[in-house]
Amino acid sequence: DAKTTQPNSMESNEEEPVHLPCNHSTISGTDYIHWYRQLPSQGPEYVIHGLTSNVNNRMASLAIAEDRKSSTLILHRATLRDAAVYYCILRDDVNRDDKIIFGKGTRLHILP
Protein backbone atom coordinates (compact mmCIF):
# COMPACT_ATOMS: atom_id res chain seq x y z
CA ASP A 1 0.00 0.00 0.00
CA ALA A 2 1.16 3.51 -0.78
CA LYS A 3 2.13 5.51 2.26
CA THR A 4 0.42 8.57 3.68
CA THR A 5 1.84 11.24 5.99
CA GLN A 6 -0.30 13.15 8.47
CA PRO A 7 0.47 15.47 11.36
CA ASN A 8 0.41 13.67 14.70
CA SER A 9 -2.07 16.09 16.24
CA MET A 10 -4.07 19.21 15.56
CA GLU A 11 -6.21 21.53 17.61
CA SER A 12 -9.23 23.57 16.66
CA ASN A 13 -11.88 25.67 18.31
CA GLU A 14 -15.45 24.50 18.46
CA GLU A 15 -17.70 25.77 15.67
CA GLU A 16 -14.75 26.67 13.46
CA PRO A 17 -13.67 24.90 10.26
CA VAL A 18 -10.90 22.32 10.47
CA HIS A 19 -8.54 21.40 7.66
CA LEU A 20 -6.76 18.07 8.13
CA PRO A 21 -3.90 17.58 5.65
CA CYS A 22 -2.57 14.34 4.19
CA ASN A 23 0.42 13.82 1.93
CA HIS A 24 0.55 10.81 -0.39
CA SER A 25 3.28 11.60 -2.89
CA THR A 26 3.60 7.96 -4.10
CA ILE A 27 -0.09 7.57 -4.90
CA SER A 28 -0.87 5.51 -8.00
CA GLY A 29 -3.54 6.25 -10.56
CA THR A 30 -5.86 3.59 -9.20
CA ASP A 31 -5.58 4.50 -5.52
CA TYR A 32 -8.69 5.87 -3.87
CA ILE A 33 -8.17 8.33 -1.01
CA HIS A 34 -10.24 7.31 2.00
CA TRP A 35 -10.69 8.98 5.36
CA TYR A 36 -11.82 7.19 8.49
CA ARG A 37 -12.03 8.44 12.03
CA GLN A 38 -12.00 6.73 15.39
CA LEU A 39 -13.89 8.32 18.23
CA PRO A 40 -12.78 7.44 21.76
CA SER A 41 -13.59 3.84 22.74
CA GLN A 42 -15.17 3.08 19.37
CA GLY A 43 -14.22 1.29 16.18
CA PRO A 44 -13.21 3.37 13.16
CA GLU A 45 -15.96 4.84 11.03
CA TYR A 46 -15.95 5.90 7.41
CA VAL A 47 -15.88 9.62 6.70
CA ILE A 48 -15.42 10.17 2.98
CA HIS A 49 -13.49 9.01 -0.07
CA GLY A 50 -12.51 10.28 -3.49
CA LEU A 51 -10.40 9.52 -6.54
CA THR A 52 -9.68 12.76 -8.43
CA SER A 53 -12.46 15.27 -7.86
CA ASN A 54 -13.38 17.05 -4.66
CA VAL A 55 -16.17 15.33 -2.74
CA ASN A 56 -18.78 16.50 -0.26
CA ASN A 57 -21.05 14.56 2.05
CA ARG A 58 -23.00 15.27 5.21
CA MET A 59 -19.97 14.76 7.41
CA ALA A 60 -17.16 16.50 5.58
CA SER A 61 -15.55 17.63 2.35
CA LEU A 62 -12.50 16.16 0.68
CA ALA A 63 -10.27 18.43 -1.36
CA ILE A 64 -7.81 16.59 -3.61
CA ALA A 65 -4.82 18.34 -5.13
CA GLU A 66 -4.64 18.41 -8.90
CA ASP A 67 -1.57 16.15 -8.91
CA ARG A 68 -3.26 13.91 -6.28
CA LYS A 69 -0.15 13.95 -4.13
CA SER A 70 -2.01 15.49 -1.23
CA SER A 71 -5.51 15.91 0.06
CA THR A 72 -7.33 17.79 2.81
CA LEU A 73 -10.27 16.67 4.89
CA ILE A 74 -12.45 19.64 5.77
CA LEU A 75 -14.84 19.68 8.70
CA HIS A 76 -16.89 22.78 8.08
CA ARG A 77 -17.95 23.45 11.64
CA ALA A 78 -16.23 21.36 14.26
CA THR A 79 -18.12 20.17 17.31
CA LEU A 80 -16.82 18.50 20.45
CA ARG A 81 -18.04 15.22 19.01
CA ASP A 82 -15.52 15.55 16.18
CA ALA A 83 -12.62 15.00 18.58
CA ALA A 84 -11.11 11.78 17.25
CA VAL A 85 -8.16 10.25 15.44
CA TYR A 86 -8.49 10.81 11.70
CA TYR A 87 -6.85 8.36 9.30
CA CYS A 88 -6.02 9.10 5.67
CA ILE A 89 -5.72 5.83 3.76
CA LEU A 90 -5.05 4.84 0.16
CA ARG A 91 -7.01 1.89 -1.19
CA ASP A 92 -6.02 0.24 -4.45
CA ASP A 93 -8.85 -0.41 -6.87
CA VAL A 94 -6.77 -2.66 -9.14
CA ASN A 95 -5.99 -5.49 -6.75
CA ARG A 96 -9.31 -5.04 -4.95
CA ASP A 97 -7.48 -6.34 -1.93
CA ASP A 98 -9.80 -4.31 0.24
CA LYS A 99 -7.70 -4.58 3.35
CA ILE A 100 -7.08 -1.28 5.10
CA ILE A 101 -3.63 -0.56 6.44
CA PHE A 102 -3.80 2.16 9.06
CA GLY A 103 -1.05 4.71 9.66
CA LYS A 104 -0.77 6.71 12.86
CA GLY A 105 -3.41 9.26 11.89
CA THR A 106 -4.01 12.77 13.24
CA ARG A 107 -5.45 13.21 16.70
CA LEU A 108 -7.85 16.16 16.52
CA HIS A 109 -8.54 18.08 19.71
CA ILE A 110 -11.55 20.40 19.79
CA LEU A 111 -11.45 23.28 22.26
CA PRO A 112 -14.78 24.46 23.67
Name the minimum Å distance from CB 44 to other proteins: 5
Output 13 or 54, the one with its CB closest to other proteins.
54
How buried is 55 (Cβ within 10 angstroms: 0-12 exposed, 13-18 middle, 19+ buried)?
middle
Output 31 or 82, the one with its CB closest to other proteins.
31
Output 21 or 44, the one with its CB closest to other proteins.
44
Rounded CA-CA distance 27/76 in Å is 26
- Interaction site with other proteins (CB under 8 A): 32, 34, 36, 42-46, 49, 51, 85, 87, 91-93, 96-105
Residues of 34-44 as b/e, b for ≥16 C-beta within 10 angstroms? bbbbbeeeeeb
